[in-house]
Structure 1
Amino acid sequence: MLADSDGVNVQSGGFSPDLHRPKTWLHQLITFILEELPSWRDRGGRPTGDSETQLTSQLCAHLNGTTRKSPGWDVLQFRIEEPDETKLSRRIDLVAAPAGEVIWIEGRRHDDFDTLLPIECKRLPTPKGKNRDKREYLRVANGSTGGVQRFKAGLHGAAHEQAVMIAYVQTGGIVSWINRLDFWIRALSRVGISGWSLDDRLNLVSHDTNLRIAVLSSEHERELNLNRIELRHLWVEM
């Protein structure tokens, strides 16, 4: 299992001794989530539906079931619509958190009530509707519901320097959306939208055309004097 690759013995069960993990363990966790996306998508008996709320709820249930049966990952739980740790009035779509354990990462303590990894989920394309912006994965012209925008502004994940965005690609392919988002970021930079530059571009890390999943990465300056945040973008073609 990926969880065992750092050479640290993993103890599961109720309130075992504290677990200490390097920061790179979060990347292993992100890879675990990525690898489960096609299994969840193709799972027999998964209810049909295409709304973001429904899909994220299904994904959360699948991840919880999988972690319970996966040695090394059974120290985790996933929850939906969690209050942000800094902006309590804001809700994060999905979070990974310890389950009956205390997990230390880079000197920071996390228990059941803490978020290990904040995850924002978006549909591609953005559903049509009043006041919806087609660039909602990135930002919206009037409001603060843009996915990347929330992290850049410190409205989501201000207590973290690593976060994830999951894209449910419902029409068009991954390559098409990579090109489209890159065009939008270039346009935002070119017209001088505050806080946006070419440094916000998404970089392709891997693309599995058979499983129809991809990983992209980006790093962003943030407001409120926060440190830069690294986003991993996990995309799955539905």
Structure 2
Amino acid sequence: MLENNILSHNNCTNQKIELIDNAIDFIYNRLDEWKLYLYKEEQMQPCSENENNLTSKLVKFLTTYNKVEHNYYFNSEEPQKGQCKIDIACYGIDRKTILVIEAKRLPTPSKKREMEYVTGFENKNGGIQRFKLGIHGENYNISAIIGYVQNKDYKYFYEQINKWILELVKSGKDSTVKWSNDDCIKITVAEDNDKAHYKSNNTRISLENIELHHLFINLCI
């Protein structure tokens, strides 16, 4: 049933690609407004909130904008491969999923999981790792990861994520997937005061490469 509601980018038209790019911009452009909403309207301290609460609030916030613009629909906990679920799914007006989005806290609350934006090793719960394995975004060539930056700032984690990837390339200690220098975040789309938009092009097992958009938002004032 899920397959009927999936837009495959193997046959994606330029118009659909533009729709996806616009959806990513739609989300990115509202991240700082969402941050202010959390502080002022929700009376939250997003620097210490868990991932599920933050994602739930983000989906509700983006859905509120949809009532005005009617371009996109959002849902959380969308089923993916096997028993896994993606944090956020974005639909077009035809109700077909056009974009799947994973969300990760930066840093993770546990030192043992500090590389989870990149990989979870044998647990296979890493952000980039799941896309490379096809656990997330199997039917897509474009997807996104939102980084909830709760300490330091996005520039620090931009560098740190690339260091982790290069460490995996050198050590080979992640046996679940092959890492290469090409997996690093290399393209800067935008950098603002509290948020940034980067891109990477990541290889996958038995699938075409996937273009990952990395949307970082500094949540601490």
- Who is 1:122 aligned against? 104
Q: Structure 2 CA distance, aligned partners of 1:88 and 1:46? A: 35
- Distance (Å, rounded) in 1 between the aligned partners of 2:108 and 2:199: 20
Contact 1:133/1:141 (8 A) holds in 2: no
Match in the other structure for 1:199: 182
Displacement of 1:23: 1.0
**Does residue 175 of structure 2 align to residue 176 of structure 1?**
no
Q: Taking structure 2 as the reference length, what is the TM-score of the superposition?
A: 0.84
Structure 1 residue 227 corresponds to structure 2 residue 208: yes
- 1:139-193: CA deviation from partner (whole Å, max 9, x where unpaired): 0233110000000000011011110100000001111111111111111111134
Structure 2 equivalent of residue 65 of structure 1: 64
**Consecutive unaligned residues in structure 2, runs of 5 or more:** 1-13
Q: Distance in 1 between matches of 2:43 and 2:103?
A: 18
Q: Which runs of 5+ in 1 are unaligned?
A: 1-19, 103-111
Asked if the contact 1:82/1:95 (under 8 Å) is kept, the reply is yes
C-alpha deviations, 1:102-146, integer Å up to 9, x for none? 2xxxxxxxxx3x4210000000001117xx421000002331100
Q: Distance in 2 between matches of 1:53 and 1:23?
A: 29
Structure (1 or 2) with the larger CA radius of gyration: 1
Q: Note the alpha carbon deviations across 1:176-215, whole angstroms, 9 max, x for none.
A: 1111111111111111344101000012332112xx1001
Is 1:46 the counterpart of 2:42 in the alignment? Answer: yes
- Counterpart among 87, 90, 97 of residue 91 in structure 2: 97
Match of 1:142, SS state, is: helix
The alignment of Structure 1 onto Structure 2 pairs a total of residues equal to 197
Paired with 2:179 and 2:87, the residues of 1 have a C-alpha distance of: 24
Alignment check: 8 A CA contact 1:188 1:196 kept:
yes
Contact 1:118 1:163 in 2 (8 A): yes
Equivalent position to 2:29, from 32, 35, 47: 35
CA distance in 2, matches of 1:149, 1:117: 17
Shift of 1:88: 4.4
TM-fit CA distance, 1:46: 2.1
Bigger shift: residues 199-208 or 43-52 = 43-52
CA contact (8 A) 2:32 2:195 kept: yes
| Amino acid in the other structure paired with 2:159 | N
Structure 1 residue ranges, 4+ long, deviating more than 6 angstroms after superposition = none
Q: Which has the higher contact order (CA 8 A, sep 6+)?
A: 2
Alignment partner, residue 106 of structure 1: none
Give me the whole-angstrom Cα distance separating, in 2, the residues matched to 1:138 and 1:47: 31
- Counterpart in the other structure of 2:5: none
Pair 1:26 & 2:20 matched = yes
Query: Structure 1's 206 and 76: CA in aligned 2 closer, same or farther, altered over 3 A?
Result: closer
Contact 2:149/2:217, CA 8 A, preserved across alignment = yes
Q: CA RMSD in A?
A: 1.6
Asked whether the 8 Å contact 2:23–2:72 carries over to 1, the reply is no
Whether the 8 Å contact between 2:101 and 2:143 is mirrored in structure 1 is yes
Structure in which a larger fraction of residues adopt helix: 2
Q: Which of 147, 152, 164 in structure 2 is aligned with 1:167?
A: 147
Asked if 2 retains the 8 angstrom alpha-carbon contact of 1:167 and 1:236, the reply is yes
